[in-house]
Structure 1
Amino acid sequence: MKRLPEVRLQKLERLRGGHAPRALELCSGCGGLSLGMEAAGIELLAHVEFDSTAAASYALNFRPPHEDSAEAWARARDMVASDPATIAEEIGLKGKVEDHFDILAAGLPCQAFARIGRSKLRSVRKDEEAFKNDPRAQLYQRFLQYVEAVQPVALIIENVPDILNFGGHNVPEEICEHLEEMGYRVRYTLLNAAYYGVPQMRERLFLVAIDESLGFDPSFPQPTHAAKLPSGYESARSTALKHVPAEGSRFHPIPQAVPGLPPAVTVKQALSDLPVITEHFAEPAIMRRRKTSDVLPYAAYDGLESYAKLMRHWLGHDRVILGTSGHVVRITPRDFETFARMKSNGEYPHAFKVAHELFEEHLSSLAASEKPRNNSAAWKSLRATFVPPYDPGKFPNKWWKLDPKMPSRTLTAHMGKDTYSHIHWDATQKRTISVREAARLQSFPDSFRFAGAMNAAFRQIGNAVPPLLGLAIAERLCKDLVRKPVAAPVVTIKLEATAKVA
C-alpha cells in the first residue's frame, strides 16, 4: 500500500469542493503555458523564470496574488538558487509551502536536449559531450526536489521530443520512476500543436502526473483539428519513439484525430486581419523608430476568421483594443526582392536561385562599360548585394516562405537572431514575419504584451508553450482531478515540517 502525504488528499478534497486549482510554474518564460492554465480555470499563484525580460513580460500580463508583492512577482529567479518556501513568502503567501500549490508545471529548458541545441553546444565548447555536461540538462532533477517540497496533486512537464534520447537515455522514463516512488501515476506522450487549433506544426513531449490515490492514469486531450504532418515531422516523431521501451514504459499512445474534425488553422486564417507592413522598404526610418509596444490598427478584412476572433478576445485577456502591438520586422534590403519573388513553401536553395536570377538581370541591365569582369573584385562585390553568402547544399532549411494554405512550421527561439525561417507569403510585403505575427502563430492573444525589443520578443515567443495547447492539456488535467477516485488502499502520512529545498 502507498504511504501518501495527507496534505495531497486534503488538496484533492478541496478541488472536489469546487475550488480552483493553484499552480506554481517553473521556467515559465513569458507565460504561454500560464495563459492556457489560466483559461482552464487554474489560479496562477507563483512562477519562476531565469530570464529577466521574459519575467518582465510575465508581470505585464499576469497579476500577483497580492498587489503589494508586484516587485517580487516580476523578479527573475534561478530555480536552482531559489526554493519554493522562500518564493511563497516573498509573494505574500502565508503558512506552510506544501499547503499552497495543487499543480507544479515546468517548461524545462530544451537547449541541451534538442538536436540543434546539442550541435551548437558541441561547436561552441569544442566538446562532443558538451550537451551532457550542460547544467540545464540536470534541471529535471531540481524539479523533482520542488515536487518533494510542494507536494502537488498534479504535475506537467513540457519539452522537445529529443528528450527521449539524451545520449541514449530516455529522461522522461527516469522522471516517471522517481515520481512513482513519490506516489504519482505518470504518463508521457507527443502532441502536435496543429491538432489543437494552433496554426503551427510544433511537436512537443508532455509528461503529466496525478496523485496515486485517484486510482487511474492521467489522460491527454483529444485533437480538435485534423492535420497532415509533413514527412520531416513524421520522421522526427518516429526517431524519437524508437527510444521508448518496448515493454513497461509509461508512454501513452499519441492521441489521434477522428474523422470529421475541422482542418488545421492555416497561416492565412491566422494572420490576414493584421496590419500590412511595408515601412521596412518604403520608409525604413519609420521602422527603425518603431517599438514593439507601438500599436497599429487592424487591417480591413472581410469575414473575420474564428481564430482571429479568439486572438482578439482571449478569456481573461479580452480588454477592448482597436489595434495590436509588435509590428516590427527586420530591415534586410539585400533580400527584399528575393522574398517577393520566392514561391510559397520555398526554401533556401530556391531563394539562392532567385537571388542569382535577380543578380543576372541587374547585370543585363548595365551598359557594357558598367559591367564588371566576371569573378573580379567588383563583380563579387556587386553579387554580394543580391546573393546571400550561405552554401545552399549546407543550409537547405535556413530560409522558408510561409504557405498560406497550411499551418506554419515550428517557431524557435532562434528567431531572436534571425527570422528567415518564416518569410511572409505576401509578395507585396516582401519581408520576414513581425513579432505580432509570430505571436499569432504561437496562439498568443493580441492583448499580450512583450517586454524588451524585437529580438527579445521573438526569443520569448519561440521558447513558449503555445497557449492553446497549454489550454488543452490544462483542461484535461482539471477534469481528471475532480473525477471520482477508483478505490485503492492508501495510507496517509503527515509531513513533519515545512519542506524546504536545500
Structure 2
Amino acid sequence: MRSAEQHRARTLKIEQLRAGGAPRVLELCSGCGGLALGLKSAGFELAAHIEADPLAAESYALNFAADEQTRARWAVARDMVECSADDLVNDLELGSETTAVFDILAAGLPCQAFARIGRSKLRELAGGEHDAFRKDPRAALYRRFLDYVTDTQPLAIIIENVPDILNFGGHNVPEEICEVLEDAGYRAAYTILNAAYYGVPQIRERLFLIAIADTLNVEPTFPDPTHFVELPRGYESSRSVALKYVAPDSRRFRPIHRPDRSLGKAVSVREALGDLPKIQEHWSDPKAMRRRHVTDRLPYRKGTKLSDYAQLMRTWSGFESLVDVDGHVVRLTPRDFPIFARMSHGADYPRARAIAEAMFARELDMRGIAPGLKDSPARAALWKAMVPPYDPAKFPNKWWKMDPFRPSRTLTAHIGKDTYSHIHYDSQQRRTVSVREAARLQSFPDGFRFAGAMNAAFRQIGNAVPPLLAKAVAEQLRKDLMGAAAALPRAIRRSRAA
C-alpha cells in the first residue's frame, strides 16, 4: 500500500505546478543533452542530471548551466549506480528533501545491450558467448532507474530507448517497467515513435515510455505526427521483430502512429544541410583539415535558399547562431574520396566496392599490369591503395550515400568511429558528414556546443535523443500534466496533501 507521505510528496508538487512553477527535471544517463534540450524548450526546468561520460557531462553543463558554479557541478561525471538520488541532492546543494526536489524523472538508458546492432559486438567481446548481451550490466540499469523513482517520487516519468528493448531475448522490458510503476502508483504506457514524423531529418525509431502519477487521474498520451514520410523497406520487418513479445491485448502498449499523407513532407537531407559551408580541405589541403578543431567557425554558405528547418536550426531560442557556425571537421580517408564522388544517391557498400574494383581495373590497364598476375607485388599494393577490404556479403550496409531528397538513415553512436554510414550527397565534396552536419541531422541547433574532439562529438550526437522529437514528447506531457493539475478538485487536493 502506498503511504500517506508518498501522496503528500506528489500533491505538494501538483500545488507548485498550479501556482505557475515549471516542472523540474532530473535526467539520468543524460548524454550531451538531446532529451534535455527538448524538455527545456517545452517549458521544463532542468534541475539536475547524471551522466557517466565525462565529455558528455561537460557538453550538458556547457549548454544548460546558468552560471559558472552550476556549470562546474553539472560537468562532473557521475555513475547512476554509485550515485544515489540523495547523494546528488547533497552534492548539488539543492537544499530540500529528495522527494520534494524533482517533478519529472527522465532517462535515455544505454541501449547497447538492447539494440540488435550492438548484441553482435557484445558477443564478440565475450568470446562468442551467444547471450552476452543479457549479462551486460547496462541491461540492468532500468532496475536502478526504478530505485530513483522510489527515492524522488516524481509526478511523471520519461524513458527512451531502442525498440529492441521490447524483445530483450524474449523479454518485454517496458512491460515489466510499467507493471512495477503501476504498483508504485503510476499510470504507464509505451509506444514506438519515429523522429521523421516530428520534423527531424532522420528516420529514427525509438521506444518511449511515459508514466504519470495516478494522483493526477490522467492517462499518458503521445504526440501526433506533424510530418509524413514513406518508411524504407525493412522497417516494418524490423518492427515486427521488436514487437514480437508485445501482447495483442496489452493495455499499456499504444498503437504506432501512421501519419496522414496530408501532413507536410518530412524534412529532407538537403533541407537540413544545404546552407552549411562546403568542405573540400580534406582532399585539397589535408594539412588544413588536420589543424581544424570542432570549435573552429566558418560562415554559412551564401546564395542558397534557406529552408524552414535550417532557419530553425539557426534561430532556436537560447542557441542562436546567425553569422557562422562550428563543427566543420571530417575524417581523412583519401583512398575512398574518389569512390564517394562516383557513388549515386542511396548507394551502399556493395556498389561502392564495385566502383572501387572498376577503378582498380582501369588503373591496372593504365600501368600495364596484367590483371591475371595475382601474386604481383605491384598489383597487391595497388589493390590495397584503391579497394576497401570489407566483404560486401558481410557488410552490405557499411557505407551509404545520403539521398538529398529524403530524410537520413539513423545516426548511431558508431559514427564516433566510422561515418561511412552517412556519405554526403554532394559528389563534389566527396566525403562523409561533418560534426555539424551530423548534429543538424539529429536536430541539434547550430548554437549547441560539443565538448571534446571530433570522435567524441560524433559519439555524443549519435547517442542523443533528437531534440525535436524530445520536444514533441515533452510538450504533450506538459499539456497532460498542467491540464490534469488544473482539473483536480481543490477539495481532493487539500485532503491528499493533509
- State the one-letter code of the partner of 1:282: S
2:230 corresponds to: 228
1:207 corresponds to: 209
Task: Give me the whole-angstrom Cα distance separating, in 2, the residues matched to 1:372 and 1:145.
Answer: 65
Contact 2:157 2:211 in 1 (8 A): yes
Contact 1:5 1:492 in 2 (8 A): no
Contact 2:163 2:206 in 1 (8 A): yes
1:410 corresponds to: 410
2:374 corresponds to: 375
Gaps (5+ residues) in structure 2? none
Task: Say yes or no: does 1:80 pair with 2:88.
Answer: no
Query: How far 1:256 moved relative to its partner?
Result: 2.6
- State the one-letter code of the partner of 1:193: A
Query: How far 1:486 moved relative to its partner?
Result: 7.0
Task: Give me the whole-angstrom Cα distance separating, in 1, the residues matched to 2:107 and 2:303.
Answer: 38
Contact 2:167 2:241 in 1 (8 A): no
The one-character-per-residue Cα deviations of 1:402-453 (angstroms, maximum 9, x if unpaired) are: 0001000000000011100000011100000000000000000001111111
Query: How far 1:213 moved relative to its partner?
Result: 1.8
2:104 corresponds to: 103
The one-character-per-residue Cα deviations of 1:153-191 (angstroms, maximum 9, x if unpaired) are: 000000000000111100000000010011000000000
2:121 corresponds to: 120
Task: Say yes or no: does 1:285 pair with 2:284.
Answer: no
The one-character-per-residue Cα deviations of 1:123-142 (angstroms, maximum 9, x if unpaired) are: 11122121111110000000
1:398 match: secondary structure: coil
Structure 1 residues 187 and 48: alpha-carbon distance in aligned structure 2, compared to 1, 3 A threshold: same
Contact 1:173 1:249 in 2 (8 A): no
Query: How far 1:94 moved relative to its partner?
Result: 0.4
Contact 1:11 1:102 in 2 (8 A): yes
Query: How far 1:247 moved relative to its partner?
Result: 2.2
Contact 1:297 1:322 in 2 (8 A): yes
Task: Give me the whole-angstrom Cα distance separating, in 2, the residues matched to 1:156 and 1:468.
Answer: 15
Give the share of equivalent positions with the same residue, in percent: 58
Contact 2:11 2:496 in 1 (8 A): no
Task: Say yes or no: does 1:94 pair with 2:80.
Answer: no
Contact 2:58 2:74 in 1 (8 A): no
Task: Give me the whole-angstrom Cα distance separating, in 1, the residues matched to 2:83 and 2:457.
Answer: 25
1:173 match: secondary structure: helix
- State the one-letter code of the partner of 2:346: N
1:44 match: secondary structure: strand
Contact 1:161 1:203 in 2 (8 A): yes
Matches within 5 A, 1:326-341: 326-341=327-342
Structure 1 residues 89 and 301: alpha-carbon distance in aligned structure 2, compared to 1, 3 A threshold: farther
1:473 corresponds to: 473
1:6 match: secondary structure: helix
1:354 match: secondary structure: helix
Matches within 5 A, 1:181-220: 181-220=183-222
Task: Give me the whole-angstrom Cα distance separating, in 1, the residues matched to 2:249 and 2:225.
Answer: 26
The one-character-per-residue Cα deviations of 1:336-389 (angstroms, maximum 9, x if unpaired) are: 0000000000000000000011111212222x3x66762123212211111101
1:231 match: secondary structure: coil
1:38 match: secondary structure: helix
Contact 1:221 1:255 in 2 (8 A): no
Q: 2:244 aligns with which of 242, 245, 251?
A: 242
1:499 corresponds to: none
Gaps (5+ residues) in structure 1? 496-502
Task: Give me the whole-angstrom Cα distance separating, in 2, the residues matched to 1:334 and 1:371.
Answer: 22
1:498 corresponds to: none
- State the one-letter code of the partner of 1:33: L
- State the one-letter code of the partner of 2:417: K
1:419 match: secondary structure: coil
Task: Give me the whole-angstrom Cα distance separating, in 1, the residues matched to 2:496 and 2:228.
Answer: 46
Aligned residue pairs total 491
Matches within 5 A, 1:12-51: 12-51=14-53
- State the one-letter code of the partner of 2:347: G
- State the one-letter code of the partner of 2:155: V
Task: Give me the whole-angstrom Cα distance separating, in 2, the residues matched to 1:456 and 1:300.
Answer: 30
1:5 corresponds to: 7
1:454 corresponds to: 454
Contact 2:275 2:305 in 1 (8 A): no
Contact 1:105 1:156 in 2 (8 A): yes
Task: Give me the whole-angstrom Cα distance separating, in 1, the residues matched to 2:250 and 2:239.
Answer: 20
Query: How far 1:248 moved relative to its partner?
Result: 3.5
| Structure richer in helix, relative to its length | 2
Query: How far 1:493 moved relative to its partner?
Result: 7.6
Q: 2:304 aligns with which of 302, 305, 311?
A: 302
Contact 1:359 1:383 in 2 (8 A): yes
Task: Say yes or no: does 1:139 pair with 2:141.
Answer: yes
Pairwise CA RMSD: 1.9
Q: 1:58 aligns with which of 52, 60, 71?
A: 60
1:407 match: secondary structure: coil
Task: Give me the whole-angstrom Cα distance separating, in 1, the residues matched to 2:413 and 2:373.
Answer: 40
2:430 corresponds to: 430
Query: How far 1:5 moved relative to its partner?
Result: 2.1
Query: How far 1:240 moved relative to its partner?
Result: 1.3
Query: How far 1:255 moved relative to its partner?
Result: 2.4
Structure 1 residues 259 and 16: alpha-carbon distance in aligned structure 2, compared to 1, 3 A threshold: farther
Query: How far 1:335 moved relative to its partner?
Result: 0.5
Contact 1:6 1:492 in 2 (8 A): no
Structure 1 residues 74 and 258: alpha-carbon distance in aligned structure 2, compared to 1, 3 A threshold: same
1:483 match: secondary structure: helix
- State the one-letter code of the partner of 1:253: P
Query: How far 1:13 moved relative to its partner?
Result: 2.1
Query: How far 1:462 moved relative to its partner?
Result: 0.4
- State the one-letter code of the partner of 1:221: P
- State the one-letter code of the partner of 1:191: L
2:264 match: secondary structure: coil
TM-score, normalised by the number of residues in structure 1: 0.94
Q: 67-76 or 391-400: which moved more?
A: 67-76
1:349 corresponds to: 350
Contact 2:123 2:132 in 1 (8 A): yes
- State the one-letter code of the partner of 2:433: I
Task: Say yes or no: does 1:358 pair with 2:359.
Answer: yes
Contact 1:2 1:491 in 2 (8 A): no
Contact 1:2 1:490 in 2 (8 A): no
Query: How far 1:489 moved relative to its partner?
Result: 8.5
1:296 match: secondary structure: strand
1:304 match: secondary structure: coil
